[in-house]
A and B are shown apart, each in its own frame.
Chain A
Amino acid sequence: MNSPIQLQPDETFILNVGPQHPATHGVLRVKMEMSGEYIVSAETVIGYIHRMHEKMGEIKTYPQFLMNLSRMDYLGALGYSHGHVLLVEKACAIEVPERAEYLRVVMVELNRIASHLFWFGAFVMDLGGFTPLMYALQDREHILDMLEAVTGSRLTYCYFRFGGLYNDVDDQFITAARTFIPRMRKSLKKYRRLVTDNVIFRKRLTGIAPLSPEMCRKYGASSAVARGSGINFDVRRNEPYSVYPEFDFDVPVFHAGDSLARYMVRMEEIEQSLRIVEQALDKLPDGPVMAAKKPKLIKAPPGDYYQAVETARGSFGIRLVSDGGKTPYRLKLRSPTYSNMHLFDEACQGMLIMDALAFMGSLDLVIPEIDR
């Protein structure tokens, strides 16, 4: 890569990328001060689809708020619901049957794979390759079909309940999931040959936008953004929740910190998620999927509760302050993309616009999740 030229302040112009620009994948706006094709400074402007999810959390009862979580991140919705139900179950001390917890993990991991596949396709499309998106969407379609058969929806699931699940899975789902795993592994091999080992693809990502671990910590980055910079942190392993300690899986960490490292982490995570699904299906216990003892009216005792989960986009934190009423006193959602995105302003300085937009793609931004 060439080094940026010396920039004169009077030679710059403002370029408005978004809120309807094809690279921002949603309604994110980036105000870029440009010198030719080089970015002098950038400012991300958010809030175009702010829907007041946190306020809704305060005025809706606990079960009413269940469906809000999946509207935050439409690609990896189940991970967010998982955090919410775990938090409320912790607050109300509801015992969840083991089968329900295993099935939750299966669903969340399948959803994570679907989310990563969509990101993979969209990211390669940002780099100008359109075909991998179609392949990725076809693989994702299998997951969506499976999830639709069980949960009833394809995108904005409302499957988890306090104390268990909406319904049990059938044999058809188990068979479909088992046949999906080898098929996905085959696809991953194909992606490696088609995309990862492509010389143009590698040249465009290697060494682009290296993020230091310090910078990731400063902005609170998580997910592949942090793990691509050598920060070995995954909530599933570092602060175990649900039945994750039962499974044997690796946390992929790359130290280069560039766009390629972030890409590699996510592709490796698909494989790890497949491993978790495989083990969970093997160990799947019998039994009910709904807690036998559950309060009729969910009311969290007064107190301050917190639950972090690893979603497809990073560590999602949800904090509940309760005064013992029907609705929470305060519900704070810590969305991972919000932190990941704010890296962009600092990291893209001096970069070429096409590298900067490839870097933005590698951050895996889902705008509704930033704006909430």
Chain B
Amino acid sequence: MSLTLLNVIAAVVIAVGFAALNAAYLVWAERRGAARIQRRPGPNINGPLGLLQPPLDGIKLMAKQLTIPGGADRALFIAAPVLAMFPAIMSFVTIPFSETIVARNMNVGVLMIFAFAAMGSMSLLFAGWSSRNKYAMMSSIRAVSQAVAYEIPMLITTITVVMISGSMDLMEIVRQQSGSILHWNIFPIFGNSHNLLMPFSFLIFFTCTLAETNRAPFDLGEAESELVAGFHTEYGSMGFGLFFMGEYANIVIGACLTTILFLGGWNCPFGLFPGVWWFLLKIYLLIATFIWIRWTFPRTTIYGLLNLSWKILIPLSLFNLLFTAGLLKVF
């Protein structure tokens, strides 16, 4: 009993550590990546390659005063940044990094991650509502309508994958993709997907991940040219820092989920030994793609974004689901 408890505590500590480190150093990676794309040096003063920038930024943020605007809803205002970080960390508990490295595997892992992802948009709503700022309010309304619009095609696409593998267990989903690169869910026909539309499912899922994590070109929640800084306009100090870290932790979760559902998890593409390094390589490649997209594309409009979801992605993913169900019945 006590051993199980210790296990759980260790799992949570490792998950928190991984999430926090990733969040901090993805900020660094993002800034370096953006700088490279924009032909400027980026942070390079503190430490080699500017690697000490994230801890120093953290110290700076912690040293600042947390101001709460007059008339703000204090409880919600303080709760919102915590709520932004917490679901992302919780999701790490169930993500399998390899056959052996998983904090706590459960047979409804997919469900749990989506449940926590849905909580993320609540923190945006709290932040926008409690700030008593019109920009923050508008931004949080945007963010919530966006989250609702993009969770639906994302879930439907996930159901497609779950139907193929017949399990909501993340480890089981990865195990079924083992063998060779052609068994990955993203590729049609081979493996057990038997589905020509799987590449499209991957694209839908990837787009939804971008939108779900409020990344450009779907970063309407914090459209700085319209809404100043969006829902975190009134936040300073570590409140802002937590929102920031939560955003990056969510990106890691999105990349992990995409890797597990479509890119074969820890499986090696060439039939070499599988392992955690392959998993990390895949998620960081996906994250690099996120960064690349963010610094290349302008922002979409809110109606363009909602139209894309309701008129294109949802019908497509529904059709995909139907098609997959039919295929599963036939084969």
Contact = CB atoms under 8 A, between A and B. Distances in A.
B65 interface: no
Interface stretch (B74-82, B101-109, B277-285, B301-309): B301-309
Contacts of A23: 225-226
A201 B298 contact: yes
A15 B297 contact: no
Contact of B302 (A37, A127, A195): A37
A354 B38 contact: no
A5 B301 CA distance: 17
Contacts of A194: 296
A173 interface: no
Interface stretch (A64-72, A128-136, A331-339): A128-136
B134 A15 contact: yes
Interface string A128-147: 11110011001000000000
A124 interface: yes
Contacts of A2: 303
A127 B299 contact: yes
A125 B225 contact: yes
A1 B38 CA distance: 32
Contacts of A203: 300-301, 304
Interface string B211-229: 0000011011001111010
B193 to A, nearest CB: 30
Interface residues of A, number: 32
B138 A198 contact: no
B39 interface: yes
Interface string B286-299: 00000000011111
Given A126-B225, A200-B217, A135 B39 contact: yes
Contacts of A277: none
A352 B303 contact: yes
Contacts of A138: 39
A287 interface: no
A198 B297 contact: yes
B295 A130 contact: yes
A128 B217 contact: yes
Nearest to A20: B228
Contacts of B302: 37, 352, 354
A22 B228 contact: yes
Interface in A186-245: 194-195, 198, 200-201, 203-204
Contacts of B216: 128
B37 interface: yes
B64 interface: no
Interface in B93-114: none
Contacts of B34: 130-131
B40 interface: yes
A22 B227 CA distance: 9
A283 interface: no
Given A13-B134, A128-B219, A134 B39 contact: yes
Contacts of B142: 37
User: Which 4 A/B pairs are nearest by Cβ-Cβ distance?
Assistant: A128-B299, A129-B298, A134-B38, A127-B298
Given A15-B134, A131-B37, A355-B301, 19 more contacts: A2-B303, A13-B134, A21-B228, A23-B226, A127-B299, A128-B219, A128-B225, A128-B299, A129-B299, A131-B296, A195-B298, A200-B297, A200-B299, A200-B300, A200-B304, A201-B298, A204-B298, A204-B299, A354-B226
29 contacts: A22-B225, A23-B226, A37-B142, A126-B225, A127-B225, A128-B217, A128-B223, A128-B297, A129-B296, A130-B34, A131-B34, A131-B296, A134-B38, A135-B38, A203-B300, A203-B304, A204-B299, A204-B301, A204-B304, A352-B301, A352-B303, A353-B138, A353-B226, A354-B223, A354-B226, A354-B302, A355-B301, A357-B225, A357-B226
Interface of B: 34, 37-40, 134-135, 138, 142, 216-217, 219-220, 223-226, 228, 295-304
